[in-house]
Amino acid sequence: MRTLPELRRWAATKYRRNHRVWISDPDVDVSFPLGLPTEQEALADPDALAAWRRSWHQWHPPEGAALEWAVRNWPSWGPQRLPLRVRVTSAEGIAGLAGQQSAWARCRQLAGIVTSRWPESSSLADSLPHLVDDIAGLDDADVERLMAMAGWLIDHPDSGLLPRQVAVHGIDTKWLEKHRGLVERLILAITGQEGIGLASEPQRFRVRVLDVSVSGTTLHDLTTGVDELDRLVVAPRVVLIVENLTTLAALPPLPGVVAVHGRGYAVVQLDRVHWIRDSPILYWGDLDTHGFAILSRCRARLPQTRSVLMTRALVSRFEELAVPEPGQAHGVSGLTDEEREVFLDLERRGLRLEQERIPMDLAAQVLNRALLEI
């Protein structure tokens, strides 16, 4: 004999899995069987049967749902009218059972706003279900901004502006940067075409020449894009890529070394710089899953990359300075056996030891030893 809480859990699962599809097709016809007891089961516990039947008799289903009854002729008790199943014939009914009436109403309302704004779109009906939850996560003011921004970008598909140069009434210069992913997905859903016609400011990497003898320029500390870095006159014996700017700024002189801030996952762009591409590379990142994921991506583009200061011994030595990693990277490939052991240990324990926590005097000793091995 199934209960009201079980019905609500069933409806919540149905809603979570299917409500996006129902945006474009809200017709539903599903049933939740209530598990009629046999005569023998009823005789074994008549009080439980009475309480179960009473609970369903007192229940008032939401719109779009109905409780269906059945009569069973039991020789011992005669005809018994019992609750058979709950039948649901609309998405509203499932939402009501799941306690998601407001969420469903908002999704439908916003879907209507978007489709009425671009009724001529042939791709929107299929794509909108994948967007509706993210749009519903905005407040009303941001929904209006989203519509206005998407409309402007669709009307100006090749503006060539930087994101903060886009001038739309009521939207500040940072709004598009914060919501760009959703804007791009909405425009793709409407137009069926990738891109929003904006220019991108290139990533800028900071570089420090830690041994002036390898440089043919007086520029020993600069920040610029990869195209200009490729023109830099420098011939390092080793390139040291570090994950964090603070670490880069604190590095001491190191023989033959040019150090580069990898900018996290943007490190993959450095393969466009000839003097990095042609040099031995040491990579020093945070001791967390993302540090090893960045190392993996760097090595995929620059296969000569070796890790340094990313060992189990350092994790153990400075573990009291580690913190929980807020969001982990998974499925990392391209690591050595030792690197993978450290990665799996950090993944299992959820730890993050930032490279700035390693004392620079110790780091310099390890780096100098590593340079002797190259």
Instruction: DSSP for 294-319, please give it.
Output: HHHHHHHHSTTEEE-S--HHHHHHTG
Number of domains in the chain: 3
Neighbours of 51 (CB within 10 A): 11
What local confidence, expressed as pLDDT, does residue 330 receive?
A: 86
* pLDDT value at residue 361: 97
**Residue 326 lies in domain:** 205-372
The residue type at 56 = W
Q: 85: how many CB neighbours lie within 10 A of its CB?
A: 19
Query: Are both 267 and 363 inside the same structural domain?
Result: yes
266 and 307 belong to one structural domain: yes
212 class by beta-carbon count within 10 Å (0-12 exposed, 13-18 middle, 19+ buried): exposed
Structure confidence by residue, pLDDT tens digits, 232-259: 999 999 999 999 999 999 999 999 999 9
The verdict on 167 and 151 lying in the same domain is: yes
> Residue 193's pLDDT is what?
85
pLDDT at residue 164, rounded to an integer: 87
Whether the model pTM is above 0.75 = no
Is a pLDDT exceeding 80 seen at residue 110? yes
pLDDT exceeds cutoff 80 at 201: no
Instruction: Mark whether 165 and 224 lie in a shared domain.
Output: no
CA angle 296, 302, 303 (to 5 degrees): 75
User: Quick check: 19 and 104 in contact, CB under 8 A?
Assistant: yes
* Rounded average pLDDT over 179-196: 91
Q: Alpha helix (H) ranges present in the chain?
A: 4-24, 39-44, 46-57, 91-98, 101-117, 124-127, 132-136, 140-155, 175-191, 226-230, 245-250, 274-277, 289-301, 312-317, 337-349, 360-372
Task: Name the band, by pLDDT with cuts 50, 70 and 90, for residue 341.
Answer: very high
Question: Phi, psi at residue 287, to the nearest 5°?
Answer: -90, 80
Virtual torsion, Cα 217, 222, 224, 229, nearest 10 deg: 30
288/309 Cα distance (integer angstroms): 12
What is the per-residue pLDDT for 202? 79
- Assess whether 165 and 220 both reside in one domain: no
pLDDT, position 9: 97
